[in-house]
């Protein structure tokens, strides 16, 4: 599968799944636009590394996706967008009555509303190019729930629903929109939950990993390369009729 000549924007891609996905689409030949809210030398260095490793054009564009105008300007600054991978996300865990309003607002803005803004900006570019892929990194929590994750579960269910709407609005065009729903993937977002879980339950970090994977029947983390491979598949001709779906990459979590 060659994505040569295509440009992919990957939101939240200076770490974790976003970076892994950026590397896989670059490996498949796409030019990439990396993003996060920081503007450090090491962010730009990540783009330079991808460019030299895979022989593609790679840029880093700073945009804080908690802000609607910034989310829209990310796509505008990129200038073209054949593949939009909405991946940026944050987490906060608390019982609903203690859930800070600021955290609720931030999670809804970054994990869900940014998807609306970037998609609205990217679709006209895809129509102009006559081809497009919108791929939203949702979560198993876009299909199921866990206690204490009200904002995250609401946002991810919203992203799965929005993916269906975009699929219907583009159904007669060579554009598809799908959600990918990962179970646990070992990234900084999950790594930070391991010591927290160990502390909360007064158990070892190994036991905490076992607890995290309790809902994942494979008892293995998914990898960022596997997520990237799923994205590349969704960009292939074989996936041209796959639209409006939520594809689980969760070791069987949602089969339970």
Stretch that binds ligand NAD, among 83-91, 162-170, 171-179, 195-203 (CB under 6 A): 83-91
158 binds ligand NAD (CB under 6 A): no
248 binds ligand NAD (CB under 6 A): no
Two tokens, residue 27: 């490996």
* 124 within 8 A of 108, measured Cβ to Cβ: no
197 binds ligand NAD (CB under 6 A): no
**Residue selected from 15, 73, 236, 254 as contacting ligand NAD according to rule CB under 6 A:** 15
Stretch that binds ligand NAD, among 1-9, 46-54, 121-129, 179-187 (CB under 6 A): 179-187
* 184 within 8 A of 190, measured Cβ to Cβ: yes
Residue 33 CB, shortest distance to ligand NAD, in Å, is 13
Closest CA to 57 of 17, 18, 13, 9: 9
Active site residues: 152
Q: Which of residues 14 and 150 has its CB atom nearest to ligand NAD in the complex?
A: 14
Residue 201 CB, shortest distance to ligand NAD, in Å, is 19
CA distance 115 to 137: 10
Residue 133 CB, shortest distance to ligand NAD, in Å, is 17
Residue 241 CB, shortest distance to ligand NAD, in Å, is 25
* CA distance between the termini of the chain: 33
Cβ–Cβ contacts within 10 Å for residue 39, how many? 12
Environment class of residue 35 by beta-carbon count within 10 Å: exposed (0-12), middle (13-18) or buried (19+)?
buried
Two tokens, residue 96: 């609903």
139 binds ligand NAD (CB under 6 A): yes
Q: Which of residues 90 and 211 has its CB atom nearest to ligand NAD in the complex?
A: 90
Residue 11 CB, shortest distance to ligand NAD, in Å, is 6
Two tokens, residue 7: 């440009």
**Residue selected from 9, 25, 50, 88 as contacting ligand NAD according to rule CB under 6 A:** 88
Q: 26: which residues sit within 8 A by CB, 6+ positions away?
A: 32, 50, 53, 54, 56, 58
Residues contributing to the site for ligand NAD (CB under 6 A): 12-18, 36-37, 64-66, 87-90, 110-111, 137, 139, 182, 184-185, 187-190
């Amino acid at each position: 599968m060659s994505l040569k000549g295509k440009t992919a924007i990957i939101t939240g891609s200076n770490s974790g799944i976003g970076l892994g996905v950026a590397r896989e689409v670059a490996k498949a030949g796409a030019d990439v636009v990396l993003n996060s809210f920081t503007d450090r030398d090491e962010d730009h260095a990540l783009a330079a590394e991808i460019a030299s490793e895979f022989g593609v054009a790679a840029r880093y564009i700073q945009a804080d996706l908690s802000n609607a105008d910034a989310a829209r300007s990310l796509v505008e600054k990129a200038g073209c967008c054949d593949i939009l991978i909405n991946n940026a996300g944050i987490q906060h865990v608390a019982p609903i009555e203690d859930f800070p309003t600021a955290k609720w607002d931030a999670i809804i803005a970054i994990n869900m509303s940014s998807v609306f803004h970037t998609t609205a900006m990217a679709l006209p570019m895809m129509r102009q190019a006559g081809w497009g892929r919108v791929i939203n990194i949702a979560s198993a929590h876009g299909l199921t729930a866990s206690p204490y994750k009200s904002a995250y579960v609401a946002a991810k269910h919203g992203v799965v629903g929005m993916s269906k709407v975009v699929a219907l609005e583009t159904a007669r065009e060579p554009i598809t929109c799908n959600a990918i729903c990962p179970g646990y993937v070992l990234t900084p977002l999950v790594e930070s939950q391991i010591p927290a879980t160990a502390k909360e339950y007064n158990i070892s970090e190994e036991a905490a990993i076992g607890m995290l994977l309790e809902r994942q029947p494979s008892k293995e983390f998914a990898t960022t390369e596997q997520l990237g491979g799923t994205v590349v598949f969704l960009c292939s001709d074989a996936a041209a009729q796959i639209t409006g779906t939520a594809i689980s990459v969760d070791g069987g979590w949602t089969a339970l």
